[in-house]
Chains A and B, each alone.
Chain A
Amino acid sequence: MSALAVLCALLVVLPLILVFFHLLKMGFSSLNWNFFTKLPKPAGEEGGGMANAIVGTIELMGLALVMGVPIGILGGIYLSEYGSEKTNSWIRFGADVLNGVPSIVWGLVGYALAVMPMQGYSAFSGGLALAFIMIPMVLRTTEEVLVLVPNAYREAAMALGIPRWKITTNIILRTAFKGLVTGVLLSLGRVAGETAPILFTALGSSDWNHSLKEPIAALPIQIYYYAISPFEDQNRQAWAGALVLILLVFLLSASVRFISSRRGK
């Protein structure tokens, strides 16, 4: 029985290792200084890099964070501290449904809500589409973490005559802080690799992004365009981009584990 369990565990881990090593093999040779610092060259020309895509991914994640995390956390606080059981079950159900919505749908929502009114693709609408994905995730993880804070602390704080909202911000959020950060980082990791939503909203670009109203390059989009391109140099760069992207997600996950394992605050 245990041999079977070990076999299954290996079967699960094996594809991960195979993919990772394949990426490493195909992409590592194209990782050079130019890759990280230069802009893409026009089609057919050799050289260039994905600097704008790397920066763009980080920028889009930042935008999604700023737009999505406050709403998610405030919603989680409502569910945990203020909501009634009946409305809570509806909100949770809604969040779970939203968590399961295919990301391409969010891309279309972003298109309808931001790209069309703004008459153009933009970093803002890319961030918005990603924020839509983040909100239900952050909401659920926040609620789960806050509910774990023992009621004893709430009671002790109420018995001291501290106003309710101060108890929430100063005591409960503080106690659950590590869990909150973990939830945010996990949702960032999910959003970092999403391609479909930003395809219809941020569009991608071969230049640096200068304003929130302009299109912006991002690793997933760039990988997509380069992978289907007929030029070999671009194909190689696509592998390198994929490697960088997976390293980024890996970094986020590793920091989640690091934060969770540290004792105390």
Chain B
Amino acid sequence: MNPVITKKNFSMSDQAKPAATSSTVPPVPVPGSSVPASAKTAVPPSVAFDIQDLSIFYGKHQAIKNVTIKIPGSSVTAIIGPSGCGKSTALRALNRMHELTPGARHTGKILMKGEDLYGPGIDATVVRRRVGMVFQKSNPFPTLTIAENVLVGLRLNGVRDKALLNRRLEESLRHAALWDEVKDHLNRPGNSLSGGQQQRLCIARALAVRPEILLMDEPCSALDPIATAKVEELIHSLKSEYTVVIVTHNMQQAARVSENTAFFYMGSLIEFGPTEQIFMNPKNPQTEAYVSGRFG
């Protein structure tokens, strides 16, 4: 199969953008402009990830057991479950980050918009540019300024066009609901912000490379309620252009932000469905026990 995700045809420039944009209204990023033109998807774009019988092993330990799930695109999907159930592992498999752990291996297939993420010749680095990730603890680079942090993904991948960089800087910070707070001191170091602002900075950084999909691994667990509310608002606003998969141990948060929810337990997918149904009317008794707080 001809690998479509190759370095050559992946471009992060705005292919479909109009030449002049008004400076009062922030330009809305056009979703199609970041997908390589030659990516002919065989699957309708409404399925972001088609996961088929996925199992992940760390050495002898099996962290994920035969999970099959179709994650829809252009929406927010939450993954919930008690600690140690494999939520983070499953999430990290979606952008090949679990490979960084020594001894990690997997069986099964993950198709992203029809393309096999783990196919021969697929460069993991390019996959990670299309599938971004935000971590539990915010990690802005300390030696870079706020502006440099946001743009590091672009700059270190060779983007030099200053106009493009400045545009993306503003767009990403606006998208992350951080622009108004930092626009006057973009040259301060990245870690001079508060915890909630740092996390939003990391989100802006992840958004700046225009991934098609954003993975969030418990992004609010280290934040206070006000910062959490801001991030949840931000996730709502991302819904129309991005696919978001969020792992959370906070069920109320999952109920607030997501359209679909997957419940994991001990490495297996117990139930997957619309969020309302999972919380109000779960089909599986284990799901019911978890969402009603009987264990967790």
Binding site for B on A (CB under 8 A): 150, 152-153, 155-164, 166-167, 170-171, 174-175, 177, 264-265
A171–B156 Cα distance when bound, in Å, is 10
B152 at the interface (CB under 8 A from A): yes
- Asked if B139 contacts A160 (CB within 8 A), the reply is no
- Asked if B132 contacts A159 (CB within 8 A), the reply is yes
Can you offer 8 A-B residue contacts whose CB atoms are under 8 A? Answer: A156-B140, A158-B128, A159-B132, A159-B133, A160-B209, A171-B152, A174-B141, A265-B143
Within 8 A of A (CB), among B232-271: none
- Asked if B141 contacts A162 (CB within 8 A), the reply is no
Known: A158-B128, A160-B153. 16 other contacts (CB 8 A): A152-B135, A156-B135, A156-B139, A156-B202, A156-B205, A157-B152, A158-B100, A159-B95, A161-B126, A161-B128, A161-B129, A161-B153, A166-B156, A167-B156, A170-B156, A171-B143
Given contacts A175-B141, A265-B143, contact A160 B97 (CB under 8 A): no
- Asked if A174 contacts B143 (CB within 8 A), the reply is yes
A216–B95 Cα distance when bound, in Å, is 58
A187–B17 Cα distance when bound, in Å, is 54
Within the complex, what minimum Cβ distance (angstroms) separates B159 from chain A? 12
Within the complex, what minimum Cβ distance (angstroms) separates B143 from chain A? 5
B107 at the interface (CB under 8 A from A): no
Within the complex, what minimum Cβ distance (angstroms) separates B289 from chain A? 33
A158–B126 Cα distance when bound, in Å, is 10
- Asked if B206 contacts A159 (CB within 8 A), the reply is yes
- Asked if B152 contacts A152 (CB within 8 A), the reply is no
Given contacts A160-B152, A170-B156, contact A152 B128 (CB under 8 A): no
Interface residue tally on B, bucketed by range: 20 to 34
Given contacts A152-B137, A155-B100, contact A162 B157 (CB under 8 A): yes
Q: Which residue of B lies closest to A173 (CB)?
A: B143
A61–B156 Cα distance when bound, in Å, is 35
A153–B189 Cα distance when bound, in Å, is 15
- Asked if B153 contacts A162 (CB within 8 A), the reply is yes
Per a CB cutoff under 8 Å, which of B100, B137, B142, B205 touches A160?
B205
**CB contacts between A and B, total, < 8 Å:** 71
Per a CB cutoff under 8 Å, which of A162, A177, A265 touches B125?
A162
Within the complex, what minimum Cβ distance (angstroms) separates B31 from chain A? 18
Q: Which residues of A contact B189 (CB under 8 A)?
A: 264
Within the complex, what minimum Cβ distance (angstroms) separates B127 from chain A? 8
The SS class assigned to the B binding surface is mixed
Q: Which residues of A contact B135 (CB under 8 A)?
A: 152, 155-156, 159
- Asked if A155 contacts B143 (CB within 8 A), the reply is no
Per a CB cutoff under 8 Å, which of B137, B142, B202 touches A175?
B142
Per a CB cutoff under 8 Å, which of B129, B132, B139, B157 touches A153?
B139
Q: Which residue of B lies closest to A166 (CB)?
A: B156
Q: Which residue of A lies closest to B100 (CB)?
A: A158
A159–B136 Cα distance when bound, in Å, is 13
- Asked if A161 contacts B137 (CB within 8 A), the reply is no
- Asked if B202 contacts A158 (CB within 8 A), the reply is no
Q: Which residue of A lies closest to B7 (CB)?
A: A163
A207–B197 Cα distance when bound, in Å, is 63
- Asked if B125 contacts A152 (CB within 8 A), the reply is no
Q: Which residues of B contact A162 (CB under 8 A)?
A: 125, 152-153, 156-157
Q: Which residue of A lies closest to B129 (CB)?
A: A161
- Asked if A160 contacts B129 (CB within 8 A), the reply is yes
Q: Which residue of A lies closest to B133 (CB)?
A: A159
Q: Which residues of A contact B97 (CB under 8 A)?
A: 155, 158-159
- Asked if A156 contacts B141 (CB within 8 A), the reply is yes
Q: Which 8 A-B pairs have the closest CB atoms?
A: A161-B129, A160-B153, A161-B128, A159-B133, A152-B139, A156-B139, A162-B156, A174-B143
A162–B128 Cα distance when bound, in Å, is 8
A140–B125 Cα distance when bound, in Å, is 30
Q: Which residues of B contact A170 (CB under 8 A)?
A: 152, 156
Per a CB cutoff under 8 Å, which of A155, A161, A163, A264 touches B139?
A155
A265–B143 Cα distance when bound, in Å, is 7
Within the complex, what minimum Cβ distance (angstroms) separates B145 from chain A? 11
Within the complex, what minimum Cβ distance (angstroms) separates A70 from chain B? 22
A167–B156 Cα distance when bound, in Å, is 9
Q: Which residue of B lies closest to A160 (CB)?
A: B153
